[in-house]
């Protein structure tokens, strides 16, 4: 959510930002909010003035009573009573306007960074840099589900019976590889100086609406029936929510945290859920980075964070590239975002394995997260980034370490987490 001062002082900037995100249907909202805000401030001023007058008249009553002027005091009491009724009406209208303004403000997209390329959707995202040489072997690489099936590592028939489409059982060495990647990711980030956390896997609605846009919420979140709880789609949700309503010490910034969680997503949309594979599923596990910092430090952290994901995948012998998300592909709370994509030698193209975002103070404003500085309190900046999400990240490791005989080389970084095993063999 942006600061309403932007609409008061520079509404054309807000409108131009909406146009850059190709959300022209939201343009009338800016004028509506401006009009409502004028009424709100006028209502608030009237209330403040009337309250001061009421207090002044109330003090007159005591003075009149002390000199025996009971009739005059009674008349003043009647005036004060009327003021009270007017204040009640003004207070109700003020609350009503505040709620309407907040509801509309929640839909206005955050101001994107000047460096974000303008484009309608993800087809117009821009490649930034490649890391590692993409290799296509001179033998065929099967579909990942077929590779894993041949290693007795996947059972989707059973998960179909227990849970339906979009779920899976991982078995044997493949399940172990999945866990090894997450354990390695945890230690990788601890070595970078991040504090390890395991957060709640369910959060309340006021946290959900604080960390994401309504469109994302509708397409992603599973609600627990009969309770004000949602299953998290990523640990960023509960990690940012951890600081809801808090004032942190400036000396404690930056707060650099890395968190493990299972993640649950509806995955509503045209892309659909994979029937055979495990690339797009309803449930997966993830190691995440979350940073709270001073606003002026946000871009430095943004660049550090995506580079850590690149370094992580390169240590697993996976070529990757970074892709700048264009304006139309940015979620409404984001200032700037880039995807890390892994090379698929089977498809001979890159696919997304992580996403890094800086959200400015949008989440902090919604959730009331501030830092206490020398010159008063201020909203912090929040950032998040994927270290690894598995099984998607595991697909990249499997394809890039697949041998012609159907075995999979285990990257050296993962071998200590697999009991020293160097290869996953056919059984």
pLDDT digits (tens, 9 = 90+) for 181-192: 999 999 999 999
What are the backbone dihedrals phi and psi of residue 195, each rounded to the nearest 5 degrees, phi first?
-90, 130
Which domain does 277 fall in, by range? 122-424
Strand partners, 378: 371
For residue 293, the cross-strand partners are: 381
* CATH code of 399's domain: 3.30.930.10
345: helix, strand or coil = coil
pLDDT of residue 212: 87
pLDDT digits (tens, 9 = 90+) for 278-332: 999 999 999 999 999 999 999 999 999 999 999 999 999 999 999 999 999 999 9
Q: What is the pLDDT of residues 97-147, one digit of tens each?
A: 999 999 999 999 999 999 999 999 999 999 999 999 999 999 999 999 999
Q: Please report the pLDDT score of residue 302 as a whole number.
A: 98
Q: Does residue 184 share a domain with residue 323?
A: yes
Residues above pLDDT 90, as percent of the chain:
83
The per-residue DSSP string of 292-319 comes to EE-GGGHHHHHHHHHHHHHHHHHTTT--
Same domain assignment for residues 216 and 298 = yes
Statement to judge: residues 101 and 153 lie in one domain? no
What is the three-class DSSP state of 401?
A: coil
Q: How many domains does the chain divide into?
A: 2
Contact 374, 386 (CB under 8 A): no
- Do 87 and 234 have their domain in common? no
> Could you count the other beta carbons within 10 Å of the beta carbon of residue 9?
10
Residues with Cβ within 8 Å of 230's Cβ and at least 6 positions away in sequence, in order, are 202, 203, 204, 205, 208, 221, 222, 223, 224
Spatial distance between the Cα atoms of 370 and 377, rounded to a whole number of angstroms:
6
CATH number at residue 98: 1.10.287.40
Q: CA-CA-CA-CA torsion for 362, 213, 289, 310, nearest 10 degrees? A: -110
Are residues 178 and 101 located together in one domain of the fold? no
Give the integer Cα–Cα distance in Å for 292 and 252.
10
Cα 68 → chain centroid: 66
Domain match, 167 and 87 both: no
| d(C-alpha 55, C-alpha 64), whole Å | 15
The predicted structure's pLDDT at residue 17: 97
Residues 86 and 127 both lie in one domain:
no
Q: What is the pTM of this model?
A: 0.90
Of 75, 105, 135, the residue at which a domain comes to its end is 105
Indicate whether 9 and 78 sit together in one domain. yes
Whether residue 271 is found in the same domain as residue 409: yes
3-state secondary structure 171-195: CHHHHHHHHHHHHHHHHHHHHCCCE
Average pLDDT, the chain: 93
């Amino acid at each position: 959510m942006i600061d309403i001062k932007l609409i008061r002082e520079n509404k054309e900037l807000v409108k131009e930002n909406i146009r850059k995100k190709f959300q022209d249907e939201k343009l009338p909202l800016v004028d509506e909010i401006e009009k409502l805000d004028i009424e709100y401030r006028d209502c608030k001023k009237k209330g403040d003035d009337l309250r001061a007058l009421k207090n002044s008249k109330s003090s007159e009553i005591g003075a009149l009573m002390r000199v025996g002027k009971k009739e005059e005091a009674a008349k003043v009491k009647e005036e004060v009573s009327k003021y009270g009724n007017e204040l009640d009406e003004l207070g109700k209208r003020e609350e009503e306007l505040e709620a309407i303004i907040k509801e509309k403000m929640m839909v206005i997209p955050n101001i994107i960074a000047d460096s974000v390329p303008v484009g309608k959707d993800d087809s117009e995202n821009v490649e930034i840099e490649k890391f590692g040489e993409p290799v296509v072997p001179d033998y065929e690489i099967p579909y990942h589900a077929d590779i894993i099936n041949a290693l007795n590592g996947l059972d989707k028939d059973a998960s179909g019976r227990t849970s339906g489409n979009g779920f899976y059982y991982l078995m044997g060495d493949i399940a172990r590889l999945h866990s090894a990647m997450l354990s390695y990711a945890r230690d990788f980030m601890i070595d970078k100086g991040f504090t390890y956390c395991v957060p709640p896997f369910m959060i309340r609605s006021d946290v959900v609406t604080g960390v994401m846009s309504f469109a994302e919420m509708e397409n992603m979140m599973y609600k627990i029936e009969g309770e004000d709880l949602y299953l998290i789609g990523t640990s960023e949700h509960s990690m940012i929510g951890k600081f809801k309503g808090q004032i942190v010490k400036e000396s404690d910034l930056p707060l650099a945290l890395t968190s493990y969680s299972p993640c649950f997503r509806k995955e509503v949309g045209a892309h659909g859920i994979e029937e055979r594979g495990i690339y797009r599923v309803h449930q997966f596990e993830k190691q995440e980075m979350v940073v709270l910092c001073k606003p002026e430090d946000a871009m430095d952290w943004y660049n550090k964070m995506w580079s850590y994901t690149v370094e992580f995948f390169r240590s697993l012998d996976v070529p990757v590239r970074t892709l700048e998300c264009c304006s139309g592909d940015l979620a409404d709370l984001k200032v700037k975002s880039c995807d890390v994509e892994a090379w698929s030698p089977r498809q001979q193209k890159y696919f997304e394995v992580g996403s890094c975002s800086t959200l400015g103070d949008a989440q902090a404003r919604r959730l009331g997260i501030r830092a206490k500085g020398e010159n008063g309190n201020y909203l912090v900046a929040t950032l998040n980034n994927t270290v690894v999400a598995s099984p998607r990240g595991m697909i990249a490791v499997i394809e890039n370490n697949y041998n012609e005989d159907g075995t999979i080389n285990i990257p050296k970084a993962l071998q200590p987490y697999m009991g020293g095993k160097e290869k996953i063999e056919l059984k």
